[in-house]
Amino acid sequence: MSTQVQEQEVVINAEGQILGRMASNIVRLLKEGKKVVIVNGEKAVISGEKNRVIESYKLLLTVRTLFNPYRNGIRRPKSPINIVKRTIRGMLPKSSKGRRMLNNVKVYIGVPKEFEGRQFIKFPDADVSRLKGKYVTVEVVAKELGWSG
Protein backbone atom coordinates (compact mmCIF):
# COMPACT_ATOMS: atom_id res chain seq x y z
CA MET A 1 0.00 0.00 0.00
CA SER A 2 1.40 3.40 -0.89
CA THR A 3 2.11 5.97 1.83
CA GLN A 4 -0.36 8.46 0.35
CA VAL A 5 -3.21 5.96 0.77
CA GLN A 6 -2.14 5.23 4.35
CA GLU A 7 -2.18 8.95 5.18
CA GLN A 8 -5.72 9.21 3.85
CA GLU A 9 -6.83 6.11 5.80
CA VAL A 10 -7.67 6.54 9.48
CA VAL A 11 -8.09 3.43 11.68
CA ILE A 12 -10.34 3.97 14.70
CA ASN A 13 -10.75 1.61 17.65
CA ALA A 14 -14.41 1.77 18.72
CA GLU A 15 -13.84 -0.12 21.96
CA GLY A 16 -15.14 1.99 24.85
CA GLN A 17 -16.24 4.84 22.57
CA ILE A 18 -19.71 6.44 22.78
CA LEU A 19 -21.38 5.66 19.45
CA GLY A 20 -22.96 9.06 18.73
CA ARG A 21 -19.94 11.15 19.67
CA MET A 22 -17.62 8.83 17.77
CA ALA A 23 -19.89 9.05 14.70
CA SER A 24 -19.86 12.86 14.71
CA ASN A 25 -16.03 12.84 14.84
CA ILE A 26 -15.94 10.32 11.98
CA VAL A 27 -18.20 12.55 9.87
CA ARG A 28 -15.72 15.38 10.40
CA LEU A 29 -12.91 13.13 9.09
CA LEU A 30 -15.02 12.06 6.10
CA LYS A 31 -15.68 15.70 5.20
CA GLU A 32 -11.89 16.20 5.09
CA GLY A 33 -11.78 13.46 2.44
CA LYS A 34 -10.27 10.69 4.55
CA LYS A 35 -11.13 6.98 4.40
CA VAL A 36 -12.20 5.65 7.80
CA VAL A 37 -11.78 2.09 9.07
CA ILE A 38 -13.48 1.21 12.35
CA VAL A 39 -12.31 -1.89 14.23
CA ASN A 40 -14.05 -3.45 17.26
CA GLY A 41 -17.35 -1.95 16.05
CA GLU A 42 -19.32 -4.24 18.36
CA LYS A 43 -17.58 -2.78 21.43
CA ALA A 44 -18.86 0.78 20.95
CA VAL A 45 -21.33 1.85 23.65
CA ILE A 46 -24.73 3.49 23.60
CA SER A 47 -25.60 5.54 26.67
CA GLY A 48 -28.76 4.74 28.59
CA GLU A 49 -30.29 1.94 30.58
CA LYS A 50 -30.05 -1.42 28.79
CA ASN A 51 -33.80 -2.12 28.52
CA ARG A 52 -34.60 1.41 27.37
CA VAL A 53 -31.94 1.40 24.62
CA ILE A 54 -33.00 -2.04 23.35
CA GLU A 55 -36.68 -1.07 23.36
CA SER A 56 -35.96 2.06 21.31
CA TYR A 57 -34.08 -0.02 18.71
CA LYS A 58 -36.84 -2.66 18.71
CA LEU A 59 -39.39 0.08 18.09
CA LEU A 60 -37.64 0.74 14.78
CA LEU A 61 -38.12 -2.92 13.84
CA THR A 62 -41.88 -2.94 14.42
CA VAL A 63 -42.76 -0.19 11.95
CA ARG A 64 -45.10 -1.70 9.37
CA THR A 65 -46.43 -0.44 6.06
CA LEU A 66 -50.05 0.10 5.13
CA PHE A 67 -49.44 -1.68 1.83
CA ASN A 68 -48.56 -4.97 3.52
CA PRO A 69 -48.91 -4.68 7.31
CA TYR A 70 -47.55 -8.20 7.90
CA ARG A 71 -44.11 -7.38 6.48
CA ASN A 72 -41.63 -4.83 7.75
CA GLY A 73 -41.49 -1.79 5.53
CA ILE A 74 -37.84 -0.77 5.62
CA ARG A 75 -34.96 -3.13 6.33
CA ARG A 76 -33.54 -2.15 9.71
CA PRO A 77 -29.95 -2.75 10.87
CA LYS A 78 -29.45 -5.76 13.14
CA SER A 79 -25.71 -6.46 12.99
CA PRO A 80 -23.21 -4.26 14.86
CA ILE A 81 -21.61 -3.27 11.55
CA ASN A 82 -24.91 -1.97 10.19
CA ILE A 83 -25.90 -0.25 13.45
CA VAL A 84 -22.61 1.71 13.46
CA LYS A 85 -22.83 2.54 9.74
CA ARG A 86 -26.47 3.59 10.08
CA THR A 87 -25.55 5.96 12.92
CA ILE A 88 -22.85 7.57 10.76
CA ARG A 89 -25.19 7.70 7.76
CA GLY A 90 -27.74 9.67 9.78
CA MET A 91 -25.17 12.44 10.33
CA LEU A 92 -24.05 12.71 6.70
CA PRO A 93 -25.60 15.08 4.12
CA LYS A 94 -28.62 13.59 2.34
CA SER A 95 -27.08 13.85 -1.13
CA SER A 96 -24.82 12.01 -3.56
CA LYS A 97 -21.85 13.53 -1.72
CA GLY A 98 -23.09 11.96 1.53
CA ARG A 99 -23.45 8.56 -0.17
CA ARG A 100 -19.88 8.83 -1.50
CA MET A 101 -18.63 9.67 2.00
CA LEU A 102 -20.43 6.62 3.43
CA ASN A 103 -18.63 4.43 0.88
CA ASN A 104 -15.36 5.54 2.52
CA VAL A 105 -16.37 3.90 5.83
CA LYS A 106 -15.53 0.29 6.66
CA VAL A 107 -16.62 -1.26 9.96
CA TYR A 108 -15.20 -4.52 11.29
CA ILE A 109 -16.09 -6.79 14.18
CA GLY A 110 -12.86 -7.39 16.07
CA VAL A 111 -9.48 -6.50 14.56
CA PRO A 112 -8.74 -8.03 11.12
CA LYS A 113 -5.21 -9.36 10.48
CA GLU A 114 -4.39 -6.54 8.05
CA PHE A 115 -4.84 -3.93 10.82
CA GLU A 116 -3.05 -5.77 13.64
CA GLY A 117 -0.06 -3.82 14.89
CA ARG A 118 -1.25 -0.53 13.37
CA GLN A 119 -1.80 2.61 15.40
CA PHE A 120 -5.48 3.11 16.30
CA ILE A 121 -7.16 6.42 17.03
CA LYS A 122 -9.52 6.95 19.97
CA PHE A 123 -11.45 10.17 20.43
CA PRO A 124 -11.01 11.56 23.97
CA ASP A 125 -14.37 13.39 23.82
CA ALA A 126 -16.13 10.09 23.00
CA ASP A 127 -14.57 8.02 25.80
CA VAL A 128 -16.97 5.95 27.91
CA SER A 129 -15.40 7.34 31.10
CA ARG A 130 -17.30 10.59 30.43
CA LEU A 131 -20.61 8.81 31.06
CA LYS A 132 -21.96 9.01 34.59
CA GLY A 133 -24.95 6.73 34.03
CA LYS A 134 -25.52 3.32 32.54
CA TYR A 135 -24.64 2.18 29.03
CA VAL A 136 -24.88 -0.87 26.79
CA THR A 137 -22.56 -2.14 24.03
CA VAL A 138 -23.65 -2.32 20.40
CA GLU A 139 -23.05 -6.10 20.51
CA VAL A 140 -25.69 -6.58 23.24
CA VAL A 141 -28.21 -4.46 21.32
CA ALA A 142 -27.53 -6.39 18.10
CA LYS A 143 -27.99 -9.77 19.81
CA GLU A 144 -31.31 -8.59 21.29
CA LEU A 145 -32.42 -7.54 17.78
CA GLY A 146 -31.74 -11.02 16.42
CA TRP A 147 -28.12 -10.86 15.24
CA SER A 148 -26.45 -14.24 15.55
CA GLY A 149 -22.78 -13.43 15.74
Q: Over the stretch 45-60, which tens digit does the pLDDT of each residue have?
A: 999 999 998 888 877 6
| Residue 81, burial from CB neighbour count under 10 angstroms (0-12, 13-18, 19+) | buried
CB 38 within 8 A of CB 15: no
- Confidence tier at 84 by pLDDT (50, 70, 90): very high
d(CA 65, CA 141): 24
Q: Tell me what pLDDT residue 111 has.
A: 92
Q: Give the CATH number, domain containing residue 100.
A: 3.90.1180.10
Residue numbers of the domain that contains 41: 3-145
C-alpha distances out from residue 131 to 11, 54, 102, 127, Å: 24, 18, 28, 8
Q: Give the total number of structural domains in the chain.
A: 1
Mean pLDDT calculated for residue range 102-112: 94
Grade residue 66 by pLDDT with cuts at 50, 70 and 90: low
- 3-state SS, residue 106: strand
pLDDT band at 19 (very low <50, low <70, confident <90, very high): very high
